[in-house]
Amino acid sequence: MKKVFPLMLVALLVFTCKKQTSNTNPIVDKSTTAKASFATTEKAELVINGMTCAVGCAGTIQKSLAKVEGVQSVEVDFDKRLAMVEFNPSKIELSDLENTVHNTADSYKVVLAKKVDSFTKAVENKEHTKCAKDCTKDCCKDKKEKAEAPNVCAETCTKECCSDKL
C-alpha cells in the first residue's frame, strides 16, 4: 500500500500537468471579417473553345476556376461552351480567369469574356447554334450543300456571327 500511493500521486501529477491549456483567445479583426462578408461580387461569362467532353473538360475547368482565390461560384455548361463565374473584383480580374482557363490545358481558349449583370439562361433547343440562312460572314458564305445541311458553323468558329450564339 505504501508503494501504490506514491505511484498514484506521480501518475496524477503527470496527467494533470499535460492537460494545462492557456486561456489566451485568438484576436480576430472584426473589421476585415465584416469587409469580406460585404464585398461586392461581379458575374462574368467566358465562352470557351476546346472542350471535347462534358465530364472531363467542363469538370476540369470548373475545378480549376473554383480553386482561384476570389472566385465565389463557378458553373461550366459544356453544351453552351460557357463558364459562369461569380467573383470578387478586389481579389481577381477577368483576365486572371481567362489565364486560369488557358493554363488548365493548352487546348482551352477563351474566345469571349464579359462581365454580366445576370447569367445567360439555358436554351431548350439547339437552334441558337445556327447562323441565319442568308448569313454572309466568312464562316458561312462558302458552305457547301446548304440545301442539304443546316447552316451551322463549326464549334471552333470565332467569327462575329458565331461568337454570340449563346
pLDDT for the residue numbered 138: 57
Helix, strand, coil percentages for the chain (3-state, nearest 5): 35, 20, 45
End-to-end CA distance of the chain: 87
Query: What is the spatial distance between Cα 48 and Cα 69, in angstroms, rounded to a whole number?
Result: 21
pLDDT for the residue numbered 125: 36
Give the mean model confidence (pLDDT) for residues 26-43. 58
pLDDT for the residue numbered 129: 46
CATH number at 40-116: 3.30.70.100
pLDDT for the residue numbered 132: 61
CB 113 within 8 Å of CB 44: yes
Q: Which range, 93-102, 127-136, 143-152, has the best average confidence (pLDDT)?
A: 93-102
Single pTM value for the model: 0.52
Q: Is the pLDDT of residue 128 over 60?
A: no
Given pLDDT bands bounded at 50, 70 and 90, which one contains residue 30? Answer: very low
Residue ranges per domain, the chain?
40-116, 126-166
Q: Is the pLDDT of residue 86 over 90?
A: yes
Place of cell 462578408: 37
